[in-house]
Structure 1
């Protein structure tokens, strides 16, 4: 059972179905998360989850290249820390919040995404002040953890929406 299904409470529904109980009509066959099929389809049309995963996974290489001096990118910590500027962030703070904001798991995803941006910003800030070792430790520690959490939550969201 996935993270979203536990937080959305659909595990109780699954057990009831296995026991032969009828599911409430509000759940429908839309998704494991309990949203109807039309809402699940709309979410998947609004957000390319695989692209969001790739974009966030690519940040590690960008940060490592920046730290190692192999990048000429103009990375600015004061911009990177803004979690509502990337495509995923725009969706999380806009249509995503409208559709899924009532679910605790969505709130967790938003918080983890914000933490990811803060960690990425901190790596760049440390690199810019010459604290390469601290920046590398952050990449290997808190940043990696934040990145992994965002990717895991996005994969769970995709699975919860019934996407393949």
Structure 2
């Protein structure tokens, strides 16, 4: 069972049940979202689009570092994790709906860290240090990106998508 699916599993419930409950048969270790609540969350965020957009950022950084792109990106803008669609959702509606769950906090933290590392890659590259930029891209930045993607995919799976 995936990380997020331990916290975000959909289970058939009767209409009188609250939007979230603890599953007694799971020894209280899993949060269960009823189908209606999960459906509402899915209308607020397109997880597939967030995954594609995030992967696009990583590819854009790779193209920049390898000289395949001349697009100028400002690190002071990239380091702001609430400027992209995912970041706006994580820091807004997502936080309001799921922010009290530790797994959600981990997604927010990993997303923020990715933006910080992406800004560091850009800063090094623009300073003329392509070697350091490449090391950061292939190290911390890639690791943070992979974690964000993994957590998004687990969230998607846990919401029944």
Interval of TM-score (by shorter of Structure 1 and Structure 2): 0.7 to 0.9
Aligned to 2:14: none
Aligned length in residues: 147
TM normalised by structure 2 equals 0.84
Aligned: 1:38 with 2:36: yes
Q: 1:44 to 1:160 in 2, by over 3 A?
A: same
Structure 2, unaligned runs of 5 or more: 12-16, 24-29
Match of 1:74 among 67, 72, 75: 72
Q: CA deviation at 1:153?
A: 0.1
Indicate conservation of the 8 Å contact 1:80/1:118, yes or no. yes
Match of 2:110 among 94, 109, 112: 112
- Aligned-residue CA RMSD (Å): 2.1
Q: Hey, what's the Cα distance between the residues in 2 that align with 1:141 and 1:148?
A: 11
Structure 1, unaligned runs of 5 or more: 15-24
Alignment partner of 1:34: what SS? Answer: strand
Could you report, residue by residue, the CA deviation over 1:38-62 in whole angstroms, capped at 9, with x for unpaired residues?
2211111111101111111112221
Q: CA deviation at 1:88?
A: 0.2
Q: 1:112 to 1:75 in 2, by over 3 A?
A: same
Taking the TM superposition and a 5 Å limit, the aligned residue runs for 1:21-100 are 25-26=17-18, 27=21, 33-100=31-98
Structure with greater helix share of residues = 1
Structure with greater strand share of residues = 2
Q: CA deviation at 1:28?
A: 9.0
Indicate conservation of the 8 Å contact 1:81/1:118, yes or no. yes
